[in-house]
Amino acid sequence: MKRYSKLLLIVSCMLIGAALFFAVEHLLLKGGETDRAQPAEVSETFEKLQKAQKLIMESYVEDVETGKLLDGAIQGMVSSLGDPYSVYMDQETSKQFEQSLDSSFSGIGAEVTKEGEDFIIVSPFKGSPAEKAGLKPNDKIKTVDGNSVQSLTLYEVTAKIRGPKGSKVEIGVQRGDRAKDLVITVKRDEIPIETVHSERFKTPEGHIGYLEITTFAKETAQDLKAELAKLESEGIDGLILDVRGNPGGLLSSVHEVLDQFVTNKKPFMHIEERSGEREPLESVLTEKKPYQIVTLINGGSASAAEILAAGMQEVEGYPLIGETTFGKGTVQQSFELGDGSQMKLTMSKWLTPNKRWIHKKGIEPTLQVTQPPVFDLVPLQSAVVLKKGMNDEKVAVLQNMLNGLGYKVDRTDGYYSASTEKAVQTFQKKAGLKDNGEANTATLSELDKAIQTYKENPEHDHQLQSAIEFLNQNE
């Protein structure tokens, strides 16, 4: 049994609800050296901590809980590492984290990390409330329910975002170089951990199998094996693996998945320790599949999803279609602390089969394919009725939605023109609404549904269609 399989190695970014944690060994190690601190140095370090604790406990203006001081000390030390993936989780956060790996949990279904002073959406889960509301990879969270998150920890931000099923949270995000932040309302729901979805597409050239992996949880490999066996029994001439928007998960899970698709002719990844020593990880497969395989990736494909993409590309030469991935090249190990809390510490880097470190760079696709502009549109939320003569950023979103659905508008600068009014009337007639040309709540709701239906249609998915076309040409 390989060394890593004896430990819980996690290569995902933080899931919503995860928070900062720290490794106690930081006190026992000198900077970046591998030698342990000498006993005198350890004694001096703890003596300083004890003095600080005693001073606070005896002299601070109010009573302080010892446990609160300990949590604060641990969080402060881990913050000094400058590593968003090393975190300390108290009992409640640890429980939420474990739920996110092997059961359903309540939230918005997005993965968040911290880069410098910014809180970044890594990826919303496929079909999650976050995705449906319009949150995108690389959105920077600025506010939660109207309150700035600037001075908060990752734990505090994620705790504010989580909440009971059915409740709503307003998340203000900065997207790209937009002049104004977007305020997106998300209705919390149960986030299921059904991580594998399969389909079988009929084409003039044969049948193409499709396996979507939304995250790498404990049962993912087992579920994928069953779905793959079903597709192969029905007959497929090619296969598409879809890890778009997949934020990562368990290393053991992605290893078991790769055991289905890449051979052991070379390692599918290397784990590099702080000493520089590298451990190669190999598949158990000896013979590759008799059909061609394509992997779909995008900016929301992170961590374990990138391990899969790199293995498929660099071991077997299978093409990657889509957009450059997120870029997370580190591996974390989880430690239980005995009281229900956990530490998750970055222990090593992972390298691709060709020994590349893709951290903060990502993996570029073999074939770059972008989605139609309508895929980037945020569901339109407006408390006022949009009508002719108005000039507002929300009107610009409305115009882009109409154009994306084929209702042509003469401008997209936010001025509610006569052409915009006519397009709204045409849409209202088709939707069975009062066709007065004014975009009220009912009209905007139907537009959002129409956009979602558009995006769910495989024919509008340019990346998927490119994969099908590639497989048809390379059977």
Instruction: Report the CATH number that the domain containing residue 417 is assigned in CATH.
Output: 1.10.101.10
Other Cβ atoms less than 10 A from the Cβ of 457: the count is 8
With respect to residue 429, please indicate whether it lies within any of the assigned structural domains: yes
The structure tokens listed for 236 are: 């497929």
Measured CA angle at 302 (ends 300, 303), to 5 deg: 170
Does residue 185 sit in the same domain as residue 204?
Answer: no
Q: Is residue 465 part of a domain?
A: no
Task: Specify the number of domains making up the chain.
Answer: 4
Does residue 6 sit within a domain? no
| pLDDT of amino acid 428 | 96
My answer on whether 29 and 158 are in the same domain is: no
The 3-state secondary structure of the chain reads CCHHHHCCEECCCCECCCCCCCCHHHHHECCCCCCECCHHHHHHHHHHHHHHHHHHHHHCCCCCCHHHHHHHHHHHHHHHHCCCCCEEECHHHHHHHHHHHHCCEEECCEEEEEECCEEEEEEECCCCHHHHHCCCCCCEEEEECCEECCCCCHHHHHHHHCCCCCCEEEEEEECCCCCCCEEEEEECEEECCCCEEEEEEEECCEEEEEEEECCECCCHHHHHHHHHHHHHHHCCCEEEEECCCCCCEEHHHHHHHHCCCCECCCCCEEEECCCCCEEEECCCECCCCCCEEEEEECCCCCCHHHHHHHHHHHHHCCCEEECCCCCCCEEEEEEECCCCCEEEEEEEEEECCCCCCCCCCCCCCCEECCCCHHHHCCCCCCCCCECCCCECHHHHHHHHHHHHCCCCCCCCCCECCHHHHHHHHHHHHHHCCCCCCCECHHHHHHHHHHHHHHHHCHHHCHHHHHHHHHHHHCC
Q: Are residues 186 and 205 in the same domain?
A: no
Is the pLDDT confidence value at 106 over 70?
no
Q: Is residue 464 a part of any domain in this protein? A: no
Same domain, residue pair 37 and 78: yes
* Position 10 in a domain: no
297 and 425 assigned to the same domain: no
Q: Rounded to whole angstroms, how far apart are CA atoms 273 and 202?
A: 46
Q: What is the pLDDT of residue 45?
A: 72
Q: How confident is the model at residue 113 (pLDDT cuts 50, 70, 90)?
A: confident
pLDDT at 379 over 90: no
What share of the chain has pLDDT > 70, as a percent?
88
Q: Are 215 and 363 contained in the same domain? A: yes
17: in domain: no
- Tell whether 200 and 316 lie within a shared domain: yes
Q: Flag whether 45 is in a domain.
A: yes
319: nearest Cα among 355, 284, 294, 339: 294
Most confident of 165-169, 245-249, 411-415: 411-415
Q: Evaluate if residue 355 carries a pLDDT over 90.
A: yes
Q: 351 pLDDT exceeds 60?
A: yes
CB-based contact 474:292 (threshold 8 Å) = yes
> What pLDDT shows up at residue 193?
66
Q: What is the pLDDT confidence band of residue 68, given thresholds at 50, 70 and 90?
A: confident
Q: Is 170 domain-assigned?
A: yes
Structural domain harbouring 59: 22-85
CA distance 178 to 181: 7
The catalytic residues are 303, 328, 332
Other C-beta atoms within 10 Å of 272: how many?
19
Q: Which residues of 344-361 are buried (b: 16+ CB within 10 A; e: fewer)?
A: bbbbbbbbbbeeeebeee
**Residue 147's domain is classified under what CATH number?**
2.30.42.10
Q: CA triplet 243, 206, 297: central angle to 5 degrees?
A: 15
Averaged pLDDT, 402-421? 95
Same domain (yes/no): 57, 161 = no
The answer to whether 26 touches 83, Cβ cutoff 8 Å, is no
Per-residue pLDDT tens over the stretch 127-169: 788 888 888 888 899 999 999 998 887 767 887 888 888 999 9
Q: Is the same domain home to 80 and 134?
A: no
| Nearest 10 degrees: Cα torsion 244, 246, 248, 253 | -90
pLDDT tens sequence across 298-316:
998 999 999 999 999 999 9
* Residue 124 and residue 250 in one domain: no
Q: Are 299 and 124 in contact (CB under 8 A)?
A: no
Q: Which candidate, 309, 295, 364, 301, places its Cα nearest to that of 328?
A: 301
Apex 49 CA angle, 48 and 52, nearest 5: 90
pLDDT band at 36 (very low <50, low <70, confident <90, very high): very low
Q: Give me the pLDDT at residue 2, please.
A: 43
CATH value at residue 313: 3.90.226.10
Is the domain of 218 the same as that of 259? yes
pLDDT at 341: 82
pTM, to two decimals: 0.77
**Could you tell me the CA-to-CA distances from 73 to 14, 24, 115, 340, 393 in Å, in that order?**
21, 11, 21, 18, 45
Q: Which two tokens stand for residue 22?
A: 């720290």
Phi/psi at 20 (5° precision): -70, 140
* pLDDT given at position 18: 29
Of 157, 191, 225, the domain-final residue: 191
Contact by Cβ (8 Å): 279, 3? yes
How far apart are the C-alpha atoms of 252 and 244, rounded to whole Å?
20
Task: Give me the pLDDT at residue 82, please.
Answer: 84
282 and 427 assigned to the same domain: no
